[in-house]
């Protein structure tokens, strides 16, 4: 079921498979700090064509904790791609050096392209604006761990829902569960893309679009905040116009439910004020820490099986 499987889109996973990953991650949490030997002798290749902090280092740490090794690049200028080598040739060669490939690339569909070439499993760590499935596994795991369930919650996504791949993948992931209400809160220019809206409608999910967080915050159990994806704007002037258009601070939180949790895939820019970090609502650093057990679980399932 999991062994040798490519991880390209969160849509390829059933609800039961996601729960299986969560249960495995929960077991991994107990072993954090130890070096296991589940992936002894295995090599994970990390190919990052775009900046990363959490994703690259948590994959690397997860692999280390499982007893495996990593080969890694995060600066394209230091690879033969700078000499004109194609992505396809690079993948073909790295495939021979490793047992699994994690790739982040600015081109939509790059991970799928790599998976079509490589014999080893390929994990999508972000392909342009399109998807970021392992981030969604972490996001859903955090909700599952903190709230004890994913069903029957009112979930709000705030921010750049147009260019943000973490938000897009999370919407697709949430479709696997029985949501109560889905609030999509963004400036009008950054609303979900048509194909995402079509998926929601196809699944019969009712969603509420608004640009006013304070209007709906008192009905939200989980608020997922994202930054405006400046690097993806075709027109820098458009970014300048929209930037700073939303911000969570203590004054906004007076509208919050008592047990609201705030998540964010990070990095944050200015959309969550630092004063929020010390409130009971802030779960984004906890969420980042779950990157290790969740990626350990996934790597184990993909490389060693169940
Ligand atoms: C996200 C990404 O790269 O899409 N970062 C991450 O992996 N945690 C979110 C972002 O960059 O805004």
Q: Return mean pLDDT, the chain.
A: 96
User: 166 CA to middle of ligand 1, Å?
Assistant: 6
The C-alpha atoms of residue 226 and residue 164 are separated, in whole angstroms, by: 8
Residues whose CB is less than 8 angstroms from the CB of residue 30 and which lie 6 or more positions away in sequence, other chains included: none
My answer on whether omega of the bond before 246 falls inside 30° of 0, hence cis, is: no
Classify each residue of 156-167 as buried b or exposed e, where b means 16 or more C-beta atoms within 10 Å of its C-beta. bbbbbbbbbbbb
pLDDT tens-place string over residues 165-177: 999 999 999 999 9
Please, are residues 104 and 125 in contact by the beta-carbon 8 Å criterion? yes
Q: Among candidates 306, 303, 256, which has minimal Cα distance to 279?
A: 256
Confidence category of residue 76, pLDDT binned at 50, 70, 90: confident
The pLDDT assigned to 78 comes to: 84
Q: Residue of the nearest CA to atom 6 in ligand 1?
A: 265
pLDDT surpassing 90 at residue 81: no
Comparing 60-64, 77-81, 187-191, 257-261, the range with the smallest average pLDDT is 77-81
pLDDT tens-place string over residues 124-139: 999 999 999 999 999 9
Q: Among candidates 45, 52, 169, which has minimal Cα distance to 105?
A: 52
The phi-psi region of residue 260 (left if phi > 0; otherwise alpha if psi is between -120 and 50; otherwise beta) is beta
Query: Which ligand 1 atom is at minimum distance from the Cα of 227?
Result: 12
User: 266 CA to middle of ligand 1, Å?
Assistant: 6
Residues whose CB is less than 8 angstroms from the CB of residue 258 and which lie 6 or more positions away in sequence, other chains included: none
Query: Which ligand 1 atom is at minimum distance from the Cα of 165?
Result: 4
């Amino acid at each position: 079921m999991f062994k040798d499987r490519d991880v390209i889109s969160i849509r390829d996973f059933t609800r039961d498979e996601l729960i299986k990953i969560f249960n495995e991650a929960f077991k991994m949490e107990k072993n954090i700090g130890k070096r296991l030997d589940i992936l002894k002798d295995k090599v994970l290749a990390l190919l990052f064509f775009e900046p990363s902090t959490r994703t690259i280092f948590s994959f690397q740490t997860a692999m280390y904790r499982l007893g495996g090794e990593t080969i890694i690049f995060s600066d394209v200028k230091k690879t033969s791609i700078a000499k004109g080598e194609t992505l396809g040739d690079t993948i073909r060669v790295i495939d021979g050096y490793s047992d699994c490939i994690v790739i982040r690339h600015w081109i939509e569909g790059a991970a799928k392209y790599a998976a079509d070439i490589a014999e080893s499993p390929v994990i999508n760590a972000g392909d342009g604006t399109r998807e970021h499935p392992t981030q969604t596994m972490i996001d859903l795991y955090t909700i599952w761990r903190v709230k004890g369930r994913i069903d029957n919650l009112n979930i709000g996504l705030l921010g750049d829902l147009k260019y943000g791949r973490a938000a897009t993948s999370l919407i697709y992931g949430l479709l696997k569960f029985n949501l109560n209400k889905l609030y999509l809160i963004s400036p009008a220019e950054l609303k979900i893309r048509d194909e995402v809206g079509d998926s929601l409608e196809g699944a019969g999910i009712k969603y509420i679009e608004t640009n006013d967080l304070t209007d709906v915050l008192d009905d939200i159990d989980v608020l997922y905040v994202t930054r405006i994806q400046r690097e993806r704007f075709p027109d820098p002037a458009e970014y300048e116009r929209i930037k700073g258009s939303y911000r969570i601070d203590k004054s906004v939180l007076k509208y919050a439910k008592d047990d609201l949790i705030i998540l964010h895939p990070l990095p944050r820019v200015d959309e969550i004020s630092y004063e929020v970090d010390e409130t009971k609502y802030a779960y984004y650093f906890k969420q980042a820490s779950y990157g290790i057990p969740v990626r350990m679980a996934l790597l184990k399932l993909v490389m060693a099986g169940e």
